[in-house]
Amino acid sequence: MLTRIDHIGIACHDLDATVEFYRATYGFEVFHTEVNEEQGVREAMLKINDTSDGGSSYLQLLEPTREDSAVGKWLAKNGEGVHHIAFGTADVDGDAADIRDKGVRVLYDEPRRGSMGSRITFLHPKDCHGVLTELVTSAPVESPEH
């Protein structure tokens, strides 16, 4: 069962400048940063709030580390902006299977490693009214990492 909006992914050309915009404009601070070589991105997670199910909601800012990454290709075609929406779930495997059974294409056969040690998969945007949708099972969060 999907329990919350985990994050909204925003593609950007310059991660540092985009982080500064969200900090200066809205007061959001960086909770976590990492480079995900598999996905070809450098990212910053800006924590918005905690949620009733023990998780949190974030903005995920994504700067491609290479032009041939999915985010790099998307950014070249669409420019900066909202890239995807992610829903939190306690069971990414089960929810992905249930959604696949309803005729929605799930992009990964097995969930992959996502931000902060999470497990993720994506749903095809053409099956989700044009919205790239991510399913996320968060790893337990002990403390922020920068």
Choose the catalytic residue: 7, 32, 39, 63.
Answer: 7
Q: Is 60 a catalytic residue?
A: yes
Choose the catalytic residue: 32, 43, 63, 83.
Answer: 43
Q: Is 83 a catalytic residue?
A: no
pLDDT of residue 142: 58
Q: Is 43 a catalytic residue?
A: yes
Q: Is 134 a catalytic residue?
A: yes
Choose the catalytic residue: 32, 39, 60, 63.
Answer: 60
pLDDT tens sequence for the chain (146 residues): 898 999 999 999 999 999 999 999 999 999 999 999 999 999 999 999 988 777 789 999 999 999 999 999 999 999 999 999 999 999 999 999 999 999 999 999 999 999 999 999 999 999 999 999 999 999 875 555 55
Q: Is 20 a catalytic residue?
A: no
HEC assignment per residue over 69-132 = CHHHHHHHHHCCEEEEEEEEECCHHHHHHHHHHCCCCECCCCCEECHHHCEEEEECHHHCCCCC
The contacts of residue 33 (CB under 8 Å, 6+ apart) are 42, 43, 44, 45, 145, 146
- The model carries a pTM of 0.90
